[in-house]
Every structure is written in structure tokens, then in C-alpha cells.
Amino acid sequence: MADYKGHITGASVFFAIYFAGVAYAYSVEKAYEQFSIFELIAYPAILLGLCLMFGLWPDVDTDSKGQNFFYGIFFLVDVALIASERFQAAAYLGLFAILPALGHHRGWTHSWWAMLLVPAPLFAMPYLYYPERPLVGLPFYGAAVVGYFSHLFMDGLVVSLKS
């Protein structure tokens, strides 16, 4: 079982492999030409950030650096939602934020279905808001799943992903 530094390292290695595949896919048809210089720098940085974040996410169910990081983000977003009087969204965020605490460590957050389901909004939301570009969220979803997978791999759970 890895600590947070091990999970960050593992997610970085898995990201390098993932990004090489994404870069190759974009190079085949020269799809990268549609992006500005800023986007060519920002998109890989965002993908790396997502991969690293989801490499820590499964440990949100226990006292960990990942839990501190994510609950800090949840708190700031919730304060912003309340300040902007978006109380329903703040309530939903609060509801979803407590879900990991309802299970035990290495419970549902360390399962193969959570690896696919938790990052799903990264794919679904862009699809809903940009139906003319239905796959725009796919690289972001892929980076999150790769990060999540790296966590399960580093914890030695890949062989037993049957839960």
C-alpha cells in the first residue's frame, strides 16, 4: 500500500503513458493544429492535474493528504455556492461530499465501478453542454480514470477488481 507520495509518483508514471497515447492520437490526423499555443500548454497541465487528483481520490475515505485536499476544495466551493445564493447546489455538494465518509477505508472508493463512475461527470457534463462536440470531455475523463487506476494499482488491488 502506497502513501500519498507513492500515489503521486504512480499517477505521474501512468499519466506519462496515457499522455503519450493521447499525443499520438492527436498527431495522427494533426488534430493538434486546432489548438492555440496556450491550449497546447494548458490542456496537458489540466490533464496532469486531473490524473494526480484522481490518483489521490480513493483515500478520501480515511484521514489522508487526499482527504485534506478534496475536503478543502469542497469547503471553498460550498462557501462560494452559498455566497452566490446557490443553496440547492451547495446542498447537493454537501450530500455528495459526505458519501466517502459513510463507507470504510478501501470500501467503495477502492472499487473498479467507482473508478469509472466517480470521474463520469468529466465526460457527461461537456457532452450535455456541448452536444455539437460530444467527445470533448473524453481526454479529461480518461486522465481521471488513469489516475484512479494508478491508485488501485499502487494499492495492489488491480488483480482483485471484482468488487
Q: What residue spans of the chain are helical by DSSP H?
A: 4-28, 37-56, 65-83, 87-102, 112-117, 121-129, 138-154
Q: Could you give the angle at which helices 37-56 and 65-83 cross, rounded to 10 degrees?
A: 120
pLDDT value of residue 101: 82
Q: Is pLDDT at 40 greater than 60 in this prediction?
A: yes
Query: pLDDT band at 34, cuts 50/70/90?
Result: confident
Cα Rg of the chain, angstroms = 17
pLDDT > 90 in the chain, percent: 64
Cell, residue 19: 499522455
pLDDT of residue 161: 47
Say if residue 125's pLDDT is above 50: yes
What pTM does this model have? 0.86
- Nearest CA-CA partner of 70 in 52, 44, 43, 47: 52
* Predicted local distance difference test score (pLDDT) of residue 1: 66
10 burial via Cβ count (<10 Å: 0-12, 13-18, 19+): buried
Domain coordinates of the chain in residue numbers?
Answer: 4-62+107-154
Q: Report whether pLDDT(163) > 60.
A: no
Q: How confident is the model at residue 4 (pLDDT cuts 50, 70, 90)?
A: confident
